[in-house]
Amino acid sequence: MATLKDVASLAGVSAKTVSNVVNGYAFVKPDNRRRVLEAMSAVGYRPNIGARNLRRGRTGFIALVVPELSIPYFGELSGLIITAAQERDWNVLIEQTQGERDRERSTLAALGPHIVDGTILSPEALQTGDFTELAQGISIVMLGEHKVDLDIDHVAIDNVLAAQTAVAHLIGIGRRRIAVIGQNPHRGTAALRLEGYRKALALAGLPQLSELVVPAQTYHRRDGAEAMAQLLSLPERPDAVFCFNDLLAFGALRAAADRGLRIPEDIAIVGFDNTEESGYSLPSLTTIAPNKLSIARTAIDLLHRRVSSAEQFPPQDIQTTFSLEVRESTVGR
Amino acid sequence: MATLKDVASLAGVSAKTVSNVVNGYAFVKPDNRRRVLEAMSAVGYRPNIGARNLRRGRTGFIALVVPELSIPYFGELSGLIITAAQERDWNVLIEQTQGERDRERSTLAALGPHIVDGTILSPEALQTGDFTELAQGISIVMLGEHKVDLDIDHVAIDNVLAAQTAVAHLIGIGRRRIAVIGQNPHRGTAALRLEGYRKALALAGLPQLSELVVPAQTYHRRDGAEAMAQLLSLPERPDAVFCFNDLLAFGALRAAADRGLRIPEDIAIVGFDNTEESGYSLPSLTTIAPNKLSIARTAIDLLHRRVSSAEQFPPQDIQTTFSLEVRESTVGR
DNA sequence: CATCGTTGGTACAACGTGGTAAAAATTCCT
DNA sequence: AGGAATTTTTACCACGTTGTACCAACGATG
């Protein structure tokens, strides 16, 4: 690979002058600039990013830490984040944690300032202490809700309100025995969505029935199907289910249909995430639609501001918008 | 951040000795090793990857270039590739091209050897000349089929055979007017899958009807739905559709159901990719299942061998296995 | 006792880039 | 023309790491 030096000797100038041309320094004679540019293309010069970053003290990378790329929500969100990052001249390094606390910890621990300029983290199971221990001196923007009050930048929708909106919709269409799938003591978002569910029930004067709160180990289709099977084996089955994400909802949908139930007539289903699939499933899925594009842009902008501005500013807690997409799984065709 | 030097002065040895400890060099006195290790943990030493790579002449990164992460197939595959790469101490940089030739070209051009040790590329629209122009001196493993004969490492299933298998299955269950969705002159895979389709028809002595070959600009659900709508407006509608990927199939499924057709009784549908969704959709989708895990592992292993072995070896063309997952969209419940 | 091989350690240079400061070239002004 | 001001270019170094070469101590050997 050609280096600054090679270009310099070919153009008959010093390496620094070449560097100046590369970096758009103003005071280079037009004639020299031309010769340098010619030499650059002649040898196919490409700056060595590693060396440049070593010199500049930055890496040019950010890490994006998500549970799993194969989960459509994270696939879609990651795509948007990568696109937003490119506008800031960042390359994105993706790490997967499977939503396990140990892997979230070790990933965070492995991401020193040498590796990345900053990190966008979508934690599932991390706890307060983990941050104070591991997030020292690195810029982190957290995505998704968390229960703990931390001095960390944070972008998310109002999960409690979103869940409440979803359940209120079910109540609004006349449902009274509303179940929820996805309870999980280790997941921060689960607690918030459960809180919204409870608020909506309370506001409507409906009873809180513990047998209608079904846990889910992970948030995949299989878990949703299993949870729905459990619900349908109850003496009195629910007339609606609020699932903590779309995948759970698709699994639940499938399990309900397998048992011959009509959706939404026998049982209405609401999801959370508005993955692309939700508009095409049969029936299409009513779901909470976080503004993913806004989340991606906001997170990147915030991280950029945090990393590039010299002065400190207090941690930001930014709420992005969401909407309820009403589809066939609650109101029929 | 602490450096080797800091650790060295604290431990009372030279920086190189610390380096030797870090790299597991054998001849370090136990006593010194202990002191160095203590000093390292005392100052929280973390090697500067950039500097190390600058010195070693490698980067520790590979690029993964895919059309879109939000496409479930690529989300799932990327997840597996990242996991496989981690076992080789590689971090993965993901780039998206939207399947556009221009973006595939510019991405490839931007990935010099300084940036990444190698590249795993899933091209949609690249042409032969692009490779000879842009792939000079960088290690590339290509995923997915391509028509052009190139001297580039390559991992894929036999697309022609896979498509032929899918269509033969439709013929086997008695279908005679079999349409295909996804024809696209700019996509390498489309040509191969179309070839398999034609082979299967020819083998069964069925006519090749051009009105049953529907193009798709992109391979999203929307395209599948539009294509299906077009097929259903034909004077004589098909009794089966082979879609070039699962997303097209889901869109087609939805469009057919919207018009009151029963699947598979009125029209059978086969997809391609075996995305997780295909096992849970209503009806579940019969589809070609490439061995994604094998693709991911093979690609990483091949790239690693290419990059780390000093001697050259001829370009490999490795075929991985696939299977046909027969589900409800062709055989009912 | 001189020599040798082994083990353990160090100093130095270099990877490619860009900041600093000083040198060189050019322009402008009196 | 002489000097100051400005523009242009350069030499040098540092970023943090590791390979090379070399040195020192040691016990073993002849």
Residue nearest to nucleotide D7 (CA to C1'): A27
Instruction: Establish whether the CB of B53 is closer than 7 Å to any nucleic acid atom in strand D.
Output: no
Q: Indicate whether A89 pLDDT > 80.
A: no
Least confident of A147-151, A189-193, B37-41, B258-262: A147-151
The residue of chain A nearest to residue B59, with distances taken between CA atoms, is A50
- Quick one: average pLDDT of B48-70? 85
Does B151 or B191 have the greater pLDDT score?
B191
- Quick one: average pLDDT of A253-265? 96
**Contact assignment for A257 to B69 by CB distance below 8 Å:** no
Q: Indicate whether A49 pLDDT > 90.
A: no
- Quick one: average pLDDT of B309-331? 90
Instruction: Establish whether the CB of A49 is closer than 7 Å to any nucleic acid atom in strand D.
Output: no
Q: List the single best residue of A69, A120, A263, A333 to mutate versus B (max B Cβ within 10 A).
A: A69
**Contact assignment for A75 to B69 by CB distance below 8 Å:** yes
Does A6 or B126 have the greater pLDDT score?
A6
Instruction: Establish whether the CB of A37 is closer than 7 Å to any nucleic acid atom in strand D.
Output: no
| Residue in A69, A280, A281 closest to B79 by CB | A69
Gap from A238 CA to D25 C1', Å: 83
Q: What are the helix (H) ranges across chain A?
A: 4-11, 15-22, 30-43, 49-56, 72-86, 101-110, 128-134, 159-172, 188-203, 221-232, 246-258, 292-308, 328-331
- For residue range B74-116, what is the model confidence (pLDDT) as tens digits? 999 999 999 999 888 788 889 899 888 888 887 877 776 667 8
Q: Indicate whether B223 pLDDT > 70.
A: yes
- The predicted model scores a pTM of 0.85
Confidence of residue B160 (pLDDT cuts 50, 70, 90): very high
d(CA B234, CA B227): 11
Residues of chain B contacting A71 with CB distance shorter than 8 Å: 75
Residue B139: predicted pLDDT: 85
Average pLDDT of the residues of chain A: 90
Nucleotides of D under 7 A from a protein CB: 7-12, 14-20
**Burial class for B103, CB neighbours closer than 10 Å (0-12, 13-18, 19+):** middle
Residue nearest to nucleotide C10 (CA to C1'): B14
Nucleotides of C under 7 A from a protein CB: 7-12, 14-20
Q: Which of B35, B46, B32 is nearest to B1 (CA)?
A: B46
Q: Indicate whether B220 pLDDT > 80.
A: yes
Average pLDDT of the residues of chain B: 90
Q: Which of residues 16-45 of B touch strand D (CB under 7 A)?
A: 16, 19, 22-23, 45
Residue B138: predicted pLDDT: 77
Q: Indicate whether B176 pLDDT > 70.
A: yes
Residue nearest to nucleotide D16 (CA to C1'): B51
- Residue whose entry in the numeric block shows the structure tokens 């990147």: A300
- For residue range B68-85, what is the model confidence (pLDDT) as tens digits? 999 999 999 999 999 999
Percent of chain B surpassing pLDDT 90: 59
- Quick one: average pLDDT of A117-136? 80
Residue A114: predicted pLDDT: 67
- Quick one: average pLDDT of A113-122? 83
**What is the SS3 string spanning chain B?**
CCCHHHHHHHHCCCHHHHHHHHCCCCCCCHHHHHHHHHHHHHHCCCCCHHHHHHHHCCCCEEEEEECCCCCHHHHHHHHHHHHHHHCCCCEEEEEECCCCHHHHHHHHHHCCCCCCCEEEECCCCCCHHHHHHHCCCCCEEEECCCCCCCCCEEEECCHHHHHHHHHHHHHHCCCCCEEEEEECCCCHHHHHHHHHHHHHHHHHCCCCCHHHEEECCCCCHHHHHHHHHHHHCCCCCCCEEEECCHHHHHHHHHHHHHCCCCCCCCCEEEEECCCHHHHCCCCCCEEEEECHHHHHHHHHHHHHHHHHCCCCCCCCEEECCEEEECCHHHHCC
Q: Indicate whether B128 pLDDT > 90.
A: no
Q: Indicate whether A109 pLDDT > 80.
A: no
Residue A311: predicted pLDDT: 67
Across the beta sheet with A317-319, the strand order is: A317-319, A153-156, A140-143, A118-121, A61-66, A91-96, B91-96, B61-66, B118-121, B140-143, B153-156, B317-319
Q: Indicate whether B215 pLDDT > 70.
A: yes
Gap from B14 CA to D28 C1', Å: 29
**Contact assignment for B277 to A95 by CB distance below 8 Å:** no
Confidence of residue A210 (pLDDT cuts 50, 70, 90): very high
**Contact assignment for A71 to B68 by CB distance below 8 Å:** no
Q: Indicate whether A307 pLDDT > 90.
A: no
Residue B112: predicted pLDDT: 65
Residue B206: predicted pLDDT: 96
Residue A310: predicted pLDDT: 62
Residue B148: predicted pLDDT: 61
Q: Indicate whether B172 pLDDT > 70.
A: yes
- Quick one: average pLDDT of B150-179? 95
Residue A78: predicted pLDDT: 96
**Contact assignment for B70 to A46 by CB distance below 8 Å:** no
Confidence of residue A147 (pLDDT cuts 50, 70, 90): low
Does A310 or A166 have the greater pLDDT score?
A166
